[in-house]
Each structure stands twice: as C-alpha cells, then as structure tokens.
Amino acid sequence: MITGNIIEACIDFTQRLIQTPSMSGEEGTIAKLVEQECRSLNFDEVTIDPIGNVIARLYGQDRSLPAIVINTHLDHVDPGDPKLWHSGAFEAAIRDGRIYGRGAADIKGPVATQVYALAALIQAGQRPKRDVVFSCVTEEEIGGAGAIYWAEHVDYPIGLIMIGEPTSNNVALGHRGIRQVQVTFFGRSVHASVPHKADNPNYALGTFLTRLQKRQHDLPEHPRLGATTVSPTIIEVDTTSRNVTPAWARVNLDFRSAAVTHADIINFIAELAEGFNHQVLWANGFEAIPLDPPEQLVTGFDTHPDDPVTVRVVELLTEGMGRAPVVGQFAFATDGRHMTGLGAPIIGFAPGDEKEAHTANESITLDALAEGLRGYLAVLQNF
C-alpha cells in the first residue's frame, strides 16, 4: 500500500533530485545522492559501479527466480535559456499540483518513483517475490554508455526489465532505433571576396537538404513501431571566419527506424548526394565510424503486446492504479535498445508526460507521481 508519507517522501526526493544538476558526463554528485537515499531506505545492496551507475538490490522471497530490473537514468539535457523559465530550472518549485524544473519528467520524477516504490515494500516489512534490481545509469542522453556497460556486466537471470521513462503511467512496448549520421560535403576554401574561385560545399549541402525534404517519406515503416523518419539537426563548417568560404560542410541526420539497415541508409544518402564529393559516418555517441556492418538492422526494442509477461504486467498495473494503462510505444529512443541482448521482455512505464521532456518549464504532476508509485508497487509485489 502506498501511504501518504511515502508519497510525500517521493515528492521531496524528486525536488532534491531536480535541485541537483546532472548534465551528461557530470552525474557524480547526483549518483552520490541516489546512493545515499537507497542506503538510508535500507536496500539490501547499494553500489556505484566503475562507470558511475547506481545499482541497488532488494532481495526477493525466492532468490532463484529471474530478477525484475527497474531501469532509469541520472542525466538530463541542458536547461537552455534561463529567461524562458518561469522559475529557476533547478529550483523545483511546486505550483498548482506540479513540480517544475529541468528533468522533472525526464528523469527525476521517474527515478524517485522507482526508489520509493521499493521503499514502500521495505516500510511495510514485505519482500518482493523475486529480487528487484534498481539500475540508474549514466549518459542516457548522449548515447547510453552507462546502460551499455551495465548490460555487458549482468551476471544474473532477468525475467522483466521496466524502463522508467515518461509514459504518463501508460505502457510503452518499444521504440524505433536511432542512428546519428554525419554527411560531410567537401569543396575548396577561398577568400569570400573571390567566390568564383571556390568550390563552396554549402551549395552541395543545400541541394542535398532540398532533395531530402522531398524524399524523406520514401523510407519503409515497421508494422508496430511506425514510420522511418530522418531529421537534419546540426549543421557545421570547418571555419569560424565570416570572410572565408568553407572547405567542408556537414549536416547531422537523425534517423529513427525499426525497418532499415545500414545499407539502406547508405544507399538513400548516396542517391540524395549524387554528383557531390561526400562522406557518410555514424556518430554513435563516442566516435564517428563507418556504418558497419551494412546488413545490420537499425532497431530499438519491440516487446509483443501478447507476450505473457506483457499481459501480466498490464494486469498488475491496472490493479495498482485502478485504471487500465494505454498500451503503445515510445516516440523517442531509450536505453532499452541496449538491453535486448539480455533476453528479457522490456516494458516502459513511469510518471511524466513525454511532451514535457526537454522543454522549458518542464514539469510533472504530484498526482502522476502517486499513481506511478501505485503501479510500480503492484508489479514489484506480485510479478
């Protein structure tokens, strides 16, 4: 049972998490805060691993059963222009039943909910049926180094992975994979006063983007996870001087898909860049490398709605929350894509509206935190 003091403690912890900035690569302070919270709540095991992930465990009644993993992350995106915030991005102000601040929905509210769902069991003197592992990882926002490290070092069986990303306390059974692809166009740099002597790659890039706008809907779609999309995001050139034409111009393309291979992406770009000297590399969050192997499918994760584990989790969430969660997919990518090799069903569930994520004046409702606690508790008690 979720008591009033658990809800109040969860709200307080959410505020303290928001008040602790944790940009990707700068999660050390918040990792210590989460570690200390888990220790103070008497989790059976609490550690910070070599890459900075907080890993905690509550022992189950039958420790031979495959564990439940509840996963979330420590980092958040940049708060952006402070002038856009009604109150400070790290103030964690409460107004009209909402907590405001960077990371409120993505990801501090879900972190607090997972921790205090386990705390509710401990407070009641109960044990889950099986071990529950809380995996709170680093650098989710920039490629998932923490999740990759954690998944590579798992040495115990897992029966269910729950991803704590904002779903409005509904169920997300998958998402498309992601590839950040750099396309660089090469030319010849000259003084801007003699443009006729240049081979200005900005024109090649402009033509490429015009072609892309016309062709981006030609890519295939997945029957459950939806269409392949591609978005131009960051544009760069090699010079910062305003009176020099660039030697190269680069655009980052954000591909989201569960239906294309590396070869499909390479061929698609080659058609759009026909006639121009260019290079294609995969910016995987760590380095820029070729899109190899060509036959590799771009995937996220995809748990079937009729999987017995899915059916049981939905039943338990319905019992805990007093309403049936809507079953769908994430629109964005999560660390779940790094966990498919563990062989366990992956299900997304947490408070917070995904539309709030990464926005100025990001917020989460107090009611959503309470409902998320009830949902998680029902799964942890009975799965």
CB 265 within 8 A of CB 255: yes
Please give the pLDDT value at position 45: 98
3-state SS class at 108:
helix
- Domains in the chain: ranges and CATH: 4-175+300-382 (3.40.630.10), 177-289 (3.30.70.360)
The DSSP result for 138-197, as a single string, is S-GGGT-HHHHHHHHT--S-EEEEEE-S--TT-EE-EE-EEEEEEEEEE-B--BTT-GGG
Return averaged pLDDT per consecutive 10 residues of the chain, 383 residues in all: 93 98 98 98 98 98 98 97 96 97 98 98 96 98 95 98 98 96 97 94 98 94 94 96 97 96 96 97 84 92 97 98 97 95 97 96 98 98 96
Please give the pLDDT value at position 1: 79
Give the helix/strand (H/E) hosting 316.
helix 308-321
- What span, in angstroms and rounded, lies between the C-alpha atoms of 123 and 116? 10
Handedness of CA 305, 307, 309, 311 (dihedral sign): positive
Give the helix/strand (H/E) hosting 379.
helix 366-382
- Look up residue 152 and give its two tokens: 């590579």
If we measure between CA atoms, which residue out of 298, 205, 202 comes closest to residue 254?
298
Instruction: Identify the bridge partners of residue 95 per DSSP, sorted by sequence position.
Output: 98
User: Which distant-in-sequence residues (6+ apart) come within 8 Å of 178 by Cβ?
Assistant: 254, 255, 256, 298, 300, 333, 337
User: Any idea what DSSP says for residue 277?
Assistant: -
Residue 283: C-alpha distances to residues 60, 137, 151, 183 (Å): 41, 21, 21, 10
If we measure between CA atoms, which residue out of 370, 306, 365, 333 comes closest to residue 97?
365
Residue 11: C-alpha distances to residues 8, 98, 112 (Å): 5, 10, 8
Please give the pLDDT value at position 178: 93
Q: Is the peptide bond before 293 cis (omega within 30 degrees of 0)?
A: yes
Q: What is the pTM of this model?
A: 0.90
CB 244 within 8 A of CB 192: yes
